[in-house]
Structure 1
Amino acid sequence: MNWHPRRHLHRYLLAALLSAITSTSASGLEFAGSKSCKSCHLEIYNQYLQTGHPHKLQRVRGAPPVYPSKTSAGVPHPPPGHSWKDISYVIGGFSWKARFMDQQGYILTGDQTQYNLSSSPHAKDAHWVAYDVGNSPRKPYTCGACHTTGWTPSGETGPHQDGLPGIHGTWVEPGVTCEACHGPSAAHVAAPTKVKPVTKETCRSCHARGETTTIDASGGLIKHHEQFETLLASPHSSLACGSCHKPHQSTRYQTGGYKGEDTTCRTCHRNTQIKLKAKTGMACQTCHMPRAVKSALSTPAAYRGGTVPVGDLRTHIFSISTDPNWKMFTDDGKFVRLDDNRKAHLTVDYVCLSCHTSQDMPWARNEARRIH
């Protein structure tokens, strides 16, 4: 057969179309695409669309990215000096912060390249801040393992998603969609009763960073990707994430992702009582899960004798220490301190004095001992 450019072009387009419809993972299993789940799992599918997972990475085509109604306020405009035509993808933008990729797939860095959404604990308006200042004005995108579904890293040599050289890998779908957690499911779609998708929790693959034996920190707060590490260092290390969370629903915007104290804390701590009358109406998470984690925003709370930073996420450490000699962080501030049993403990400045700013540390230790 003679070579003909048009014939080869048709073959290329057909191959590209087939690849878009069904892709193959590194293990050889095929992806079906999240929309294939909708026909059988409509209620769960609609719930999951209200979470931040599928919106972790969005393609931009000359207009702002779209977020679910009654959830994130979204990103109204790109970084100063840019238009939406300059942007290929938006990273995040659901609740906390957004970063941006240029038309070559590189992440924009420098002054005013990260958009922090308003955060209710801090009553701050949305605003622009610097990201990765001091390095190249743009950096390669290598974050697909936790931002996409079916990510295959490729490095600088490619292949590159959408042919964009700044994206050092490819994916099946942008965002964390159904098959990111349940595995490639084309076989399940073809034979639902014979082939079952993965149902084992895979949260730790993204809600952890680096060594799980250490808890990364910076600026007096835990870094935002350490949920699994903090849970391991807590008294609840044997619990699955699903013990407290509904995996297809968000804990933000009153969408039902937290199961509530009656089916979580009180299941095991049914005999624990709050003895201080003024505290009887407080939720367990108010004290045992203070905002000691930062994703985008933090503010200092000045109490009598010191200052404590307040983050925009709650911690999963749970345990509170009233020992005056216990320090929550290592001396260099890079990690949460662990005791001889590899357990972490919150200190009362984070637990109590972020609210009771007219009081001091001795008062907080005394009150903490009296609550239960």
Structure 2
Amino acid sequence: MNKRQFYVSFLILSSIFIFSQCFRQSSIKDNTDIRGEQFAGSSSCISCHKQVYDTYASTGHFNTSAPATAKTVKGSFAPDHNTFSYTNGSHVIMESRDSGLFQVEYKGSALQAAHRFDIVMGSGRKAQSFLSWKDGKYYQLPLSYFVPVHSWANSPGFPPAYPKFDRIIPGTCFGCHSAAVGIRDVQMEGMRLSEEFEKNQLVYGIDCERCHGPAADHVVFHTSHPAEKNAMHITRIGGLKNQQRLDMCALCHSGLGTPQKSAFDYRPGDALSDYFFPDYTRPVRAAEVDVHGKQYQLFTASKCFVKSNNMNCSSCHNPHRNERDQLELLSRRCMNCHQQENHTFCKLKDANAAKLAANCIDCHMPVSPSGKITLLTDGQASPTPDSMRTHLITVYPEATRKILSRFR
């Protein structure tokens, strides 16, 4: 079997497995949660965990998808700020109508088609993209909103010459941008998986039970036993092995692998290898891995991780709080290992220790442009790459020079 046949076989097997695992009737009438009676819904967590819930509600995970409204869509619908022009003479205008928000295609002054904003994908810190539902399918709209330049932009991978409204979004995309999606039907069409979705039937964002597991029994027990302080009938994250804790994050932060099971079937403690087929493509150096989407591969290639016995994502990140731009706070977590007295502190002599300790991040995890995710704003000749902070923790001489120049 040659390499091409090998990968085709894997894709066929993947589709078969996804079909068998993902097929679900979502017209559940007796439960408020579309996932079934074993799920309690995040609102049930508030009575006992209000402080944690309130802080989590400000995180990117919680806000990674939302119903499209004037409040959740960040882009402007005001004249002179709501138009994108294509090289074929078409233009798309973002319009707010009585019936909702729309991306409307015109050729000259002639209206061609109007497509509704139904779902917002992305927390809006970097960018937002938008989905429109039609006849059981979700389609990505051609224009996204690029937050760093405060502009509508051609969605990543879309043609710059004309507006494309027919890109179908599969359930695997919802697997990392929602806690559940209502799937009406799944069929195999040749070698392609065809899904039909219930309109706007989502558990938006990454909710509590997506990471902590189904909580209905937990809620029932602790409602009846309020004095019990041990968490019962729910996975205790602190009791998981280190690799299990890493796998929880890697499910969505290790790139697009070939799935063998639906991400929605994942429960804390499961092995990541049970959800994706092994990647037999040519290995690349960690420095060549794109910063977008493969944080797990970058992080686990870092010397910090390799030399540690129990380092994982939550060694640096508190998943219940929005700490993304708090570089001094994150740097203090570096100091848990990199202290002056044990000779693992920064070796630079050109700046005082206090200033170095306040910002390890910009030197050792600099913001880097993505080669995979680029957005073309109106009037630009070439797209602008999205930028993310690399999770390959190492020495970056150019970034270090920039930091040192601030101290002079």
How does the TM-score come out when normalised to structure 1? 0.63
2:177 equivalent to 1:147: yes
The 3 A distance-change label for structure 1 pair 43 and 194 is same
Indicate the SS of the match to 2:253: coil
2:132 equivalent to 1:107: no
More deviation, 187-196/48-57: 187-196
What's the CA shift string for 1:219-278, capped at 9, x where partnerless? x88241111110111113341111111111123355x9x85333x222222132444234
User: Letter of the aligned partner of 1:260 in structure 2?
Assistant: L
User: Does the aligned pair in 2 maintain the 1:215–1:230 contact within 8 Å?
Assistant: no
User: Does the aligned pair in 2 maintain the 1:92–1:99 contact within 8 Å?
Assistant: yes
**In the TM superposition, what is the alpha-carbon distance from 1:286 to its structure 2 partner?**
1.7
Counterpart of 2:117 (choices 79, 87, 90) is: 87
2:250 match: 204
2:232 equivalent to 1:194: yes
Counterpart of 1:268 (choices 337, 344, 356) is: 337
Counterpart of 1:133 (choices 151, 154, 158) is: 158
The structure with the largest strand share of the pair is: 2
Q: Percent identity?
A: 22
User: Letter of the aligned partner of 2:254 in structure 1?
Assistant: A
The 1-side partners of 2:127 and 2:218 are apart by 35
What's the CA shift string for 1:186-233, capped at 9, x where partnerless? 111111353123524311111111367957999x88241111110111
2:113 match: none
2:394 match: 319
1:249 match: 321
The 3 A distance-change label for structure 1 pair 290 and 221 is farther
Q: Which has the higher contact order (CA 8 A, sep 6+)?
A: 2
The 3 A distance-change label for structure 1 pair 315 and 212 is farther
The 1-side partners of 2:150 and 2:94 are apart by 21
User: Does the aligned pair in 1 maintain the 2:291–2:388 contact within 8 Å?
Assistant: no
The 3 A distance-change label for structure 1 pair 250 and 106 is same
Counterpart of 2:297 (choices 229, 233, 249) is: 229
User: Does the aligned pair in 2 maintain the 1:216–1:226 contact within 8 Å?
Assistant: no
The 2-side partners of 1:205 and 1:145 are apart by 9
**In the TM superposition, what is the alpha-carbon distance from 1:352 to its structure 2 partner?**
4.2
**In the TM superposition, what is the alpha-carbon distance from 1:20 to its structure 2 partner?**
2.7
More deviation, 38-47/84-93: 84-93
The 1-side partners of 2:195 and 2:335 are apart by 52
The 3 A distance-change label for structure 1 pair 132 and 52 is same
Q: Which runs of 5+ in 2 are unaligned?
A: 1-26, 84-91, 96-100, 103-115, 188-192, 223-230, 258-277, 376-383
The 3 A distance-change label for structure 1 pair 151 and 125 is closer
Indicate the SS of the match to 1:287: helix
The 3 A distance-change label for structure 1 pair 231 and 355 is same
Counterpart of 2:35 (choices 23, 26, 37) is: 23
2:50 equivalent to 1:42: yes
1:160 match: 197
1:58 match: 66
The 2-side partners of 1:131 and 1:216 are apart by 25
The 3 A distance-change label for structure 1 pair 289 and 253 is closer
More deviation, 268-277/180-189: 268-277
**In the TM superposition, what is the alpha-carbon distance from 1:95 to its structure 2 partner?**
0.4
User: Letter of the aligned partner of 2:153 in structure 1?
Assistant: W
The 3 A distance-change label for structure 1 pair 158 and 129 is closer
The 3 A distance-change label for structure 1 pair 291 and 223 is same
User: Does the aligned pair in 2 maintain the 1:30–1:185 contact within 8 Å?
Assistant: yes
The structure with the largest helix share of the pair is: 2
How does the TM-score come out when normalised to structure 2? 0.58
User: Letter of the aligned partner of 2:367 in structure 1?
Assistant: R
More deviation, 188-197/174-183: 188-197
Alignment RMSD: 3.7
Indicate the SS of the match to 1:277: coil
User: Letter of the aligned partner of 1:317 in structure 2?
Assistant: L
User: Does the aligned pair in 2 maintain the 1:116–1:129 contact within 8 Å?
Assistant: no
User: Does the aligned pair in 1 maintain the 2:139–2:166 contact within 8 Å?
Assistant: yes
User: Does the aligned pair in 1 maintain the 2:65–2:122 contact within 8 Å?
Assistant: yes
Indicate the SS of the match to 1:106: strand
* Count of residue correspondences: 276
